[in-house]
Amino acid sequence: MKRPGYDGACWPDDFQAAMLRVALCEPEIAASEWAALRRGLELDDLWDPELQRLLPLVLRNLQTAGADDPDFPRMKGIQRRTWFENQRRIHGVKPVLAQLHDAGVETLLLKGVPLALQYYGEVGLRPMADVDVLVPFASYDAALDVLEADGFSDVLDIPRDRRRRMYHGSGLGHPDGRAIDVHWQLALPFVLPHAEDESTADFFAAAVDLDLDGMTVPTLCSADMLLHLLVHGLWAGSAANVRWVADSAVVIRVAGDDLDWDRLLDQTVRRDLVVPVVNGLRFLADVVDAGVPPRAVNDLLRVPVRGRTRRAYEHIMGETGETDLLGGLAGTRAYWARQSYKWGPWRAGRDLPYFLQDNWNLDHPAQVPLEAVRKAGKRVAGMVGGRGEESPAQGPV
């Protein structure tokens, strides 16, 4: 949704913001917010998966406040389930990391696993759907060779060469149920133009050690972790439009004085990420009182942003629910803008048909014009009949 004073329309709504305050604010504030929410809230009606993910954190904060609730046993059950699933993922990725290490592939853990272990402090507090691993750009093929030999395969069956050229990672699944996202970039907005193969080098150089159940593995330093969370969560097609707030607030509070704000600002400016980062930091300060230094926001507000970047972020962070001729075009456009705004016009023009092929689940890019006509015809027919076509399923992220 839109939020007055902020760019874009990808913000938590008022109910989500209230739940975030219950999960993250001082216990007394959390208890007061929960009492107000509880008057109209049935846990069975809490369908939003992003809010369900918050419940273990909500439970801990309310218990700290000395509150009680008849649904606490159910929340404890969710927390125990989260602990169990996360333990399976942690144990499942250890042999994979060992195999990559033996093959000479450097790795760095991202998102869920290090957040749960290093920042949340309890494995049951932070749900995760898979394990995210960053490898150097030059090690992409070697990493996939190792994983495919172990039985993993690309869940969307996108050819390797196109994956490498157009995306930042590959979602892999295993017949035993394990899921791993292998990244060669944190995401395409992080890429340094004309230095794609060097864009993750400083993330590896600044990495810190993480104890993964007795195995030492690197992960992002706290400043880079916060940067990743802000940019990953703040765009129109994100499935993490609530969890980025919780994750970021927890990182800021746990890292404390060890969080290098100067590094965060330098990385933000150097990688042309001012728009999402300054908006995200302001939201964290204003809505959940996350302890963001005012200097960090003020320094970024003074950084000039190119017109091309601002226009790209109007789509990246913009509204995707409006009707349009192709039905769902706004969501596709936001995703494409995020993928391509660091590319030049030649590369963007070359790869757009392949992007639409993947996004529209076509067999060949030559089918794109006909599919566009079909979508337009279906949309016009729906408008005439008073109906709208549902947005197409989003392609690989």
Indicate the average pLDDT of the chain.
90
Q: What is the mean pLDDT of residues 226-239?
A: 94
CA distance 353 to 365: 5
Give the type of residue at 172: L
Q: How remote is the C-alpha of 236 from its chain's centroid?
A: 11
User: Over the range 150-161, which residues count as b (16 or more CB within 10 Å of their CB) and which as e?
Assistant: eebebeeebeee
263 within 8 A of 224, measured Cβ to Cβ:
yes
* First vs last C-alpha separation in the chain: 21
CA of residue 70 relative to chain centroid, distance? 33
CATH of 14-307, one of 3.30.460.40, 3.30.70.100, 3.40.630.30, 3.50.50.60: 3.30.460.40
- How do the domains of the chain map onto residue ranges? 14-307, 320-384
* Phi-psi label, residue 291: left if phi above 0, alpha if psi -120 to 50, beta otherwise: left
Pick from 99, 59, 48: which is nearest to 83 by CA?
59
Give me the amino acid identity at 60. Answer: R
Instruction: Give pLDDT tens digits for 113-151.
Output: 999 999 999 999 999 989 999 999 999 999 999 999 999
pTM listed for this prediction: 0.90
Give the phi and the psi of residue 247 in degrees, each rounded to 5.
-60, -45
Half-sphere exposure of 226 (CA within 13 A, CB side): 29
d(CA 139, CA 12): 37
Q: What is the pLDDT of residues 333-389, one digit of tens each?
A: 888 899 888 888 888 899 999 888 888 888 899 999 998 888 778 777 766 765 444
Long-range contacts: 258-264, Cβ < 8 Å, 24+?
Answer: 258/222, 259/222, 259/223, 259/226, 260/221, 260/222, 260/223, 261/223, 261/293, 261/295, 261/296, 263/206, 263/221, 263/223, 263/224, 264/223, 264/224, 264/226, 264/227, 264/296
- Model confidence at 213, pLDDT cuts 50, 70, 90, reads confident
The Cα–Cα gap between 396 and 192 comes to 21
